[in-house]
């Protein structure tokens, strides 16, 4: 049994930065995975990410990315492999809690616990203003991001299947109706109606 982490990273309170947790929850609602696969909304874990990376065979992370590109690129899905990520310098040690992915991966490597395979599915954001909704271009790329996660699972030889019917979609922070219409194409995620799911009430006693 392979140990696989699928983790959505980002802050749900800052617009498109919430796309990672959003995708993680869509995956949970719509797919069943074979044993050993964990799907987690990681929030913004900083160095706690080291624990999540530890002793996994492969890790797939979904996160917003800032590119050098213009606004026109918002919604673009960009893939990075472990070597691409580790080429970067670790974050500054000025503010000790900002270090995240690069530092966590470099640390895991030092401690000898880093996963062999890492894929970062990056989604270029349009807006990181305080707010709990994704921008239209980012919403439009959710399916592509999910398709990339599924492709990676195929590559890793890890099984999954659609849940029919889907489980409850728990994106409790997004109060607004999602206007996005699902495109029915041939991609792996093409038939999902995930984005039109009704919103789930916040768990309350």
Partner 1 sequence: MAKRITIDPITRIEGHLRIDVEVDNNAVSNAWASCTMWRGIENILRGRDPRDAWLFTQRFCGVCTTVHAMASVRAVEDALKLEVPLNAQYIRNLILIAHALHDHIVHFYQLSALDWVDILQIPKADPAATAKLAESLSPWTRNSRNEFKAAQDRVNTVASSGQLGIFMNGYWGHPAMRLSPEVNLLAFSHYVQALEYQRKALQVVGILGGKTPHIQNLTVGGVANAIDLDSTSALGMAGLEMIRVLLDEVVQFINQVYFVDVCALAAMYPEWFKIGKGVTNYLAVPDLPLDSAGTAYDLPGGTIMNGNIAGVHPFKTASDKEFRDAVSEDVTHAYYQGGKALHPWVGETEPAFTGWDGEQKYSWVKSPRFNGQPMQVGPLAQVLIGYAQGHLLTRKYTDLAIGKIGAVGGLRVTPDMLHSTLGRHAARAIRASMLAELAQKHLQLLIDNIAKGDYTVHNQPVFSGHEVEGVGTHEAPRGTLSHWIVIKDEKIKNYQAVVPSTWNASPRDRSGAHGPYEASLLHTPLARPEEPLEVLRTVHSFDPCMACACHTFDPSGRQIAKVKVL
Residues forming contacts to partner 1 in the complex (CB under 8 A) are: 9-14, 17, 41-48, 50-51, 54, 63-68, 78, 80, 84-98, 100-103, 106-107, 109-112, 120, 122, 125, 128, 130-132, 172-173, 202-205
CB of 172 to partner 1, least distance (A): 7
CB of 2 to partner 1, least distance (A): 22
Nearer to partner 1, 33 or 173 (CB): 173
CB of 41 to partner 1, least distance (A): 7
The total of other beta-carbon atoms located within 10 Å of residue 102's CB is: 15
Vertex 133, ends 129 and 138: CA angle to 5°? Answer: 90
Nearer to partner 1, 18 or 142 (CB): 18
Nearer to partner 1, 80 or 160 (CB): 80
Nearer to partner 1, 101 or 192 (CB): 101
CB of 161 to partner 1, least distance (A): 24
């Amino acid at each position: 049994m392979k140990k696989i982490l699928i983790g959505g990273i980002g802050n749900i309170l800052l617009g498109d930065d919430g796309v990672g947790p959003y995708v993680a929850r869509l995956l949970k609602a719509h797919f069943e995975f074979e044993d050993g696969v964990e799907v987690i909304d990681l929030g913004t874990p900083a160095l706690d990410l080291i624990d999540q990376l530890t002793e996994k065979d492969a890790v797939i992370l979904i996160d917003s990315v800032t590119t050098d590109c213009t606004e026109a690129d918002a919604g673009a899905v960009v893939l990075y492999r472990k070597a691409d990520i580790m080429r970067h310098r670790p974050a500054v040690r000025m503010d000790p809690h900002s270090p995240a992915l690069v530092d966590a991966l470099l640390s895991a490597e030092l401690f000898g616990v880093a996963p062999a395979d890492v894929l970062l599915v990056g989604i270029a954001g349009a807006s990181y203003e305080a707010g709990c909704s994704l921008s239209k271009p980012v919403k439009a790329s959710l399916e592509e991001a999910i398709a990339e996660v599924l492709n990676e699972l195929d590559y890793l030889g890890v099984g999954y299947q659609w849940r029919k019917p889907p489980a409850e979609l728990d994106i409790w922070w997004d109060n607004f109706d999602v206007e996005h219409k699902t495109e029915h194409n041939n991609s792996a995620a093409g038939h999902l109606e995930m984005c039109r799911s009704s919103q789930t009430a916040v768990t309350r006693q």
